[in-house]
């Protein structure tokens, strides 16, 4: 190999390292920001440090999230880059996402307020510690499953679109349901109020189900129209979200 080719390869390697480091820094800021937001809302709403369910929940969410992020950065940083940089272009989906943001703050505020005022204990009875811990385990499994989905399908971005050279993924989690990332997200969200010790907050989190269904149905229309082979894949994999149910 000539000296110029060697220098070119070295420069390309340095540029790739810098790009990965920048991506890692951006990702770290996102994760730390999310941790600060969730922890802050739970602390503010409960107004106490004696809230073991919140501490366990933060560990259950952010430890596997950090592990999945580090693994993807090491193996396939394009997945992380796509999820950080892709913008939703569909107007109706932007409206749905815009409606979700204030709902998210409210959803995370209610369990802490419930803990502070003991609403569940008064109205329905307290969530038992084993139930909260089981929900924490479900959250960990959901996040690890999401990491598997992103490893299998690097095109699983936050936008409903079909990119150039977009392949049809039908293996791994996609052989079980057609939208495994949504499945893992729903498990995470529906387990969250009970992990935080709140029956009262559960109906708020259930409101996310129609949000995901609306998004899923619109995504199916786009994939059927623009992704070659998707119709045949739907016949082979009949379940959208929940195996043997729907």
Q: What is the CATH number of the domain that holds 218?
A: 1.20.120.1630
| 227 falls within a domain | yes
**pLDDT tens, position by position, for the chain (246 residues)?**
555 544 444 433 434 555 778 888 888 999 999 999 999 999 999 999 999 999 999 999 999 999 999 999 988 888 888 877 766 666 766 777 777 777 888 889 999 999 999 999 999 899 999 999 999 999 999 999 999 999 998 887 677 677 777 788 999 999 999 999 999 999 999 999 999 999 999 999 998 898 888 889 988 998 899 888 999 999 999 999 999 898
Rounded to whole angstroms, what are the CA distances from 206 to 68, 104, 189, 199, 212? Answer: 26, 12, 8, 11, 11
Show the domain range for 188.
36-236
Looking at the structure of the chain, the number of domains it has is: 1
Q: Give the span between the Cα atoms of 225 and 85, in whole angstroms.
A: 24
| 211 falls within a domain | yes
| 6 falls within a domain | no
| 4 falls within a domain | no
pLDDT of 89 reads 63
* Residue 153, token pair as written in the block: 């399908």
| 10 falls within a domain | no
Q: Give the span between the Cα atoms of 222 and 215, in whole angstroms.
A: 11
The phi and psi torsions of 153 (rounded to 5 degrees) equal: -130, 95
* Residue 100, token pair as written in the block: 């979700």
| 112 falls within a domain | yes
| 19 falls within a domain | no
pLDDT of 182 reads 93
Model confidence, pTM? 0.87
| 203 falls within a domain | yes
Tell me if 72 sits within 8 A of 79, measured CB to CB.
Answer: yes
* Alpha helices (H) along the chain: 3-46, 52-75, 77-85, 91-117, 119-123, 129-152, 180-195, 202-206, 208-226, 230-236
pLDDT of 13 reads 42
């Amino acid at each position: 190999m000539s000296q110029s080719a060697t220098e070119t390869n070295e420069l390309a390697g340095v540029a790739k390292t810098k790009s990965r480091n920048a991506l890692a820094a951006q990702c770290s800021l996102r994760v730390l920001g999310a941790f600060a937001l969730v922890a802050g809302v739970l602390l503010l709403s409960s107004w106490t440090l004696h809230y073991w369910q919140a501490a366990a929940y933060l560990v259950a969410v952010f430890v596997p999230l950090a592990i999945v992020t580090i693994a993807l950065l090491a193996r396939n940083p394009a997945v992380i880059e796509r999820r950080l940089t892709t913008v939703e272009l569909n107007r109706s989906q932007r409206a749905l996402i815009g409606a979700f943001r204030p709902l998210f703050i409210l959803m995370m505020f209610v369990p802490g307020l419930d803990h502070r005022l003991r609403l569940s204990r008064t109205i329905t009875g307290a969530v038992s510690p084993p139930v909260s811990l089981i929900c924490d385990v479900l959250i960990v499994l959901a996040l690890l499953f999401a990491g598997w989905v992103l490893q299998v399908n690097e095109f699983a971005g936050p936008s409903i679109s079909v990119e150039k050279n977009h392949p049809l993924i039908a293996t791994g989690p996609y052989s079980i349901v057609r939208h495994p990332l949504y499945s893992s997200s729903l498990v995470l969200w529906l387990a969250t109020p009970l992990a935080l010790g709140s029956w009262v907050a559960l109906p708020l989190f259930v409101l996310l189900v129609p949000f995901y269904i609306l998004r899923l149905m619109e995504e199916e229309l786009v994939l059927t129209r623009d992704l070659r082979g998707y119709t045949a894949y739907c016949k082979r994999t009949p379940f959208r979200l929940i195996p043997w149910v729907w």
